Amino acid sequence: MSGILFLFLILSPVFPQAISGSRLEEIRKRGELRVTGNRNFDPFYISDPKEGFPGFDAELGKKYADFLGVKYTFTNRPEFEDYAEAIKSGEADIAFSGLSSTLERSKKGSFSSPYLISTPGALVNKNALPPPPEGNIISTVYFRSVKDLDSVSGLSFSVRAFSASHEYLLSVFPNSRIFTYGSMDSAWNSVKEGQANCFVGDSLYIKGLLLKQRSILSNFRALIEPVQENHVSALLPKGDVYFFRNFEFFLSELKRTGELKSLEDKYFNNSNWVK
């Protein structure tokens, strides 16, 4: 009998009557889900949004608050370490911020199942690529993923420090010049300014850039075919099985009904959110 009760508490879709010690009980009592993330991260969050287009993660967080029947509040924080600390201290309950899960990061919190799959991608200056073979009029036709650059000499890379893309570069291009920055925006700007000739970052971020400014493709080649899976997930309090199972149920329902795919299409396969 106790085993059946335990399963009911874990799988109950909204709030069990009492979950002593779980963050879910705290959320129920205060009537508020406190979400954290980085507000300056298009299109996960859009700092100056058009009406109806607050950003992918902004909508996802609001949907979860609605599912729980509580108020949604958001606090802006810049980095993963800030999210993890805020969740641990109780200042935030959950983080949505285009987060890629890693083994190292999992020491600081619990990652949900992925709600988006991405890959390390690149924007490489076309002038850094070799000319096409004799008689081939389509330049860079053989460059579709970051891995395709392993035979190109003279490349210098720009990447956000300690990101999944940074880890990938270190493993695949250990002898290349790699410049690291505190944000993907800074890393991309350094390439635009000529400090490096190849930006490497999350493919979803690159998709967002191209939706905002297609003219990027006049000077840069976008390489976003998969080289590995990056799992974009929510960060929850470590060890809180009830909260974790509750969110997993919510996420599985969004996947089953197609809501999650519609949200992905809205922000990553369409430019209607761009001002």
Which value, in Å, is the radius of gyration of the alpha carbons in the chain?
21
10-residue mean pLDDT profile of the chain (275 residues): values are 43 52 93 95 93 97 98 95 96 95 92 97 95 60 88 94 91 94 93 96 96 96 95 96 96 98 97 95
pLDDT in the model for residue 137: 54
The 3-state DSSP class for residue 147 equals helix
- How far is 132 from 244, CA to CA, in rounded Å? 51
The reported pLDDT for the residue numbered 5 is 41
Closest C-alpha among 237, 270, 259 to residue 115: 259
Separation between Cα atoms, residue 175 and residue 168, nearest integer Å? 13
pTM of the prediction? 0.87
Contact 205, 53 (CB under 8 A): no
pLDDT score of 247: 97
State how far the Cα of 199 lies from the Cα of 189, in Å rounded to an integer. Answer: 9
- Which pLDDT score is estimated for 21? 81
